[in-house]
Every structure is written in C-alpha cells, then in structure tokens.
C-alpha cells in the first residue's frame, strides 16, 4: 500500500538511521508523496512519477535478470519479453519471492493483512519456507471485520499460524489474533500511523476554548465500512442547534457530496466539501472544529479519532472501533452505533450544547495524547522492536 499515508508515516519513523529499507508495493496504485529514504521495488518503469529524490528505484527486471533496465526507453518492451520467457513473472507473489531471495533481508514486515499479509504468505510458498522473520501488522478491520467473512477466515488463520510476530494498535485485536490461533510474539501495541510531534501540532490549533469553535467535521467515507450518510442524517436532525455553524465533509464519496448539497439546500446549513488537502491542512481542520464525527462498521483506533483528540475537537466515534481504549464515553468522547442516525444526533446535540463537556474533554485528551502519542514516545519503541527482531534473527542464522 505504497499510496497510503500510514505506510509513509510508519517508514518515516526509521528514516535517517542508515538502515537499508525496501518497500515492495502490493498494487500499482501510485505512491504517497511523503515516502522518503527507501528503495521502492517492482516498478515497470523507473521513471514512474510521484517518487522523490531520496527514493531508490528498482524495476521489475532486477530480481529476474539481476539488473534493472537503465535506458530511458524500452522498459515496457523488456517487461513484455520477460513475461513471455518467465510466465510466473506475471504473479506479484513470485516477484516478491525473487526479491526476497536476492535481498536476503533481516526481516519482513507486512503492513496490513488482506493485501500485504496474503501476498507475503503466497510468496513464502515460492521459497519453500526459507523466509526471514515475519511481522504482520493488523490495520484495523483486518481481523475484526474480515475474520467474520468466510472468504477470509482460512487465509487469516494461515497468516497467523505462519508469521513470527504480530503487531496491532489495540488490545481488542491482540485477543482476536489469539482466538485465530496465533502462537508467536505480540509486539508493543502502537498506533499504525506512528507518533506525532504533539508540540508542533498544538500550534496549528485555533486559539481559545474548543467550545468557542463553530465548525463540525465529518469523515465522508461511504463504502463497505464508512457510514457518512448516517452522519449527514444526524446533522439534519440537529439542524436547529447548528445555526451559525459550518459543516465540513472531508474524503467525501460521490454520493456523500450529493447528499451534502441537498441537505444544505433543505436546511439552510452551510456545508462544504473539503477537496484533497495536505495532512497538515487536515489537522488544521480538526484544530478549528468543535466536533469531529467518524462513523464506520469496523475500525481499530481510527487515525482521525486520534487527530481530533490532539487538535482539541470533541470526537463522536462509532463504537465498532477501539476508541474505548483511548476515551471515556460521555466524558472525553461519545461512542455511537454507526447505523443509528438518531443516536449520532443525540451525541451531536449534546456536544454542541454542552460547553463544559467539550472543554474538559479537550483538556483530558490533550494530556492523554501527549503521554501516549508523541513521537518521542512511539518512535523509540518502533526502532527497538526492529533491532531486537533483527538481532534475534541473526543469532538464529548463526546457530
């Protein structure tokens, strides 16, 4: 998932240490602009856009031919010939296996199960078990949701019975992994997006008490998990107390954009769609908001929840996440059912009308995030974990 901000931010934690770090994309969906100081593999064309100057580019020919295509033209033609001569080269798992065989890394880390974990599992079969120590990270719905779907149960069991280390961002998902038969080592429970520079982020917050803010922020996902339309319905039910407020919808699905425009017309509320923006601008948005709403049928912590907490916005979050490991419902956030617009509306009405609630929550959440989310707290644990696993693997190879 090379296009994911979570991937980029996780990798950033180990940058600048002189480690030889490699990224094998699970899909050809582009690259996140924050990716830095890493070798990116499996490129058809080394001139692929979106990669910064600190990125080392490695094309698909390298693990097969032992060298990449260096000429400015002809990469696609060479790849077509390679597929003809090596039919297995069309399979991404086979290419990953060849890459692992050539690199012989100290460890493999799959970021997420359904794409990263399943791919690594398949590549392992091509290597006849000659596989480095393997970490698999659960990115939220990987087991909690997909572990209840029959097409995934066997695959999840296979990953968890094979990998050596398991990482996740909430205690709920530790217990779930154990219930699926994981017998390896559980790594420290840490946010999948890494830590934050809390002191710097606080400077992006709107000055004054959170109760003085007049913005409601809604995550606009409407898909297999997201329930933004439920959030819009709740906003409609609270229209009488939202006069004078703005509503900002970010990451809005097309149907959410349509529903938001119609809602603005029918209620007279000011509703704006936030187009693609930088991560800093997204944080500033939470820093201007009195309330941040995120609804989905499955999640782990939810990065948007953590960012709302950092930026002083009162979170209304679905109870299908692990938010209860970070907040106290009714005190520092309100947890709701993702498919209950009236329940969400009750939570929103309370958050809009109870100044003491949102101000006290902002104080407590600021303390919690400083103690548990600051980069100075998270980064050393990540580095120590990698160093320990690499050292253990080296010791076992020499034994």
H or E stretch at 215: strand 215-219
Q: Is 43 in the same domain as 140?
A: yes
Q: Is 224 in the same domain as 137?
A: no
Q: Is 247 in the same domain as 389?
A: no
**Closest residue by Cα to residue 248 from 232, 230, 237:** 232
Q: Is 257 in the same domain as 162?
A: no
Distance (Å, whole) CA 132 – CA 135:
10
CATH number of the domain encompassing residue 58: 3.40.50
Question: What angle (nearest 5°) sits at the alpha carbon of residue 127, between those of residues 124 and 132?
Answer: 65
Q: Is 214 in the same domain as 317?
A: yes
Q: Is 169 in the same domain as 211?
A: no
Q: Where are the alpha helices (H) located in the chain, listed in sequence order?
A: 5-12, 62-65, 75-85, 92-103, 118-126, 141-144, 150-162, 171-179, 198-202, 228-237, 254-267, 279-288, 303-310, 341-353, 355-372, 375-398
What pTM was computed for the model?
0.91
**Closest residue by Cα to residue 375 from 9, 17, 1, 4:** 9
Distance (Å, whole) CA 288 – CA 241:
18
Amino acid 70: pLDDT = 63
Q: Is 256 in the same domain as 183?
A: no
Amino acid 28: pLDDT = 82
Maximum pairwise Cα distance, the chain = 72
Amino acid 69: pLDDT = 67
Distance (Å, whole) CA 39 – CA 22:
5
Distance (Å, whole) CA 159 – CA 114:
10
Q: Is 183 in the same domain as 260?
A: no
Q: Quickly count helices (H) and strands (E) in the chain.
A: 16, 13
Amino acid 232: pLDDT = 99
Q: Is 158 in the same domain as 226?
A: no
Per-block mean pLDDT, blocks of 10 residues, the chain (399 long): 86 91 89 87 77 84 76 72 85 95 96 96 91 95 94 97 96 95 96 94 95 98 96 99 98 97 98 92 97 96 95 97 96 98 99 99 98 96 96 77
**Closest residue by Cα to residue 55 from 38, 34, 31:** 38
Which structural domain range is residue 17 located in? 5-194+377-398
Instruction: Tally the domains of the chain.
Output: 2
Q: Is 12 in the same domain as 113?
A: yes
Distance (Å, whole) CA 264 – CA 327:
32
**Closest residue by Cα to residue 190 from 143, 225, 138, 132:** 138
CATH number of the domain encompassing residue 240: 3.40.50.2000
Q: Is 17 in the same domain as 93?
A: yes
Amino acid 23: pLDDT = 96
Distance (Å, whole) CA 54 – CA 87:
33
**Closest residue by Cα to residue 308 from 325, 326, 298:** 326
Q: Is 45 in the same domain as 146?
A: yes
């Amino acid at each position: 998932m090379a296009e994911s901000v979570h991937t980029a931010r996780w990798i950033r934690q180990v940058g600048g240490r002189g480690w030889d770090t490699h990224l094998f994309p699970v899909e050809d969906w582009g690259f996140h602009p924050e990716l830095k100081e890493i070798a990116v593999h499996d490129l058809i064309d080394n001139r692929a856009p979106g990669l910064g100057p600190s990125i080392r580019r490695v094309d698909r020919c390298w693990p097969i031919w032992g060298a990449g295509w260096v000429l400015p033209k002809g990469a696609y033609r060479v790849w077509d010939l390679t597929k003809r001569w090596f039919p297995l080269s069309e399979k991404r798992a086979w290419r990953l296996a060849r890459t692992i065989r050539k690199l012989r890394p100290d460890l493999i880390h799959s970021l997420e199960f359904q794409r990263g974990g399943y791919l690594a599992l398949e590549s392992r079969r091509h290597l006849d078990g000659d596989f480095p120590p393997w970490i698999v990270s659960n990115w939220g719905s990987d087991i909690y949701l997909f572990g209840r779907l029959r097409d995934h149960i066997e695959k999840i069991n296979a990953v968890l019975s094979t990998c050596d280390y398991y990482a996740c961002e909430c205690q709920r998902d530790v217990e779930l992994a154990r219930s699926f038969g994981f017998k390896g080592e559980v790594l420290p429970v840490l946010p999948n997006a890494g830590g934050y520079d809390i002191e710097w982020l606080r400077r992006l917050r709107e000055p004054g008490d959170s109760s003085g803010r007049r913005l409601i922020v809604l995550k606009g996902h409407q898909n297999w998990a997201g329930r933004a339309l439920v959030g819009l319905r709740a906003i409609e039910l609270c229209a009488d107390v939202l006069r004078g407020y703005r509503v900002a919808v970010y990451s809005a699905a097309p149907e959410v954009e349509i529903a938001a425009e119609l809602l603005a017309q029918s209620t007279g509320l000011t509703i704006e769609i936030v187009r693609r923006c930088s991560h800093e601008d997204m944080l500033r948005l939470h820093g201007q908001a009195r309330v941040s709403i995120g609804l989905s049928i499955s999640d782990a912590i939810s990065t948007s929840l953590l960012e709302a907490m950092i930026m002083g916005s009162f979170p209304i979050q679905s109870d299908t996440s692990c938010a209860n490991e970070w907040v106290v419902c009714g005190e520092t956030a309100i947890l709701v059912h993702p498919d209950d617009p009236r329940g969400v509306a009750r939570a929103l009405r309370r958050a809009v009308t109870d100044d003491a609630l949102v101000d006290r929550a902002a104080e407590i959440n600021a303390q919690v995030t400083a103690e548990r989310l600051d980069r100075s707290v998270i980064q050393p644990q990540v580095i120590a974990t990698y160093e320990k696993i690499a050292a253990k693997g080296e010791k076992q190879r020499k034994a």
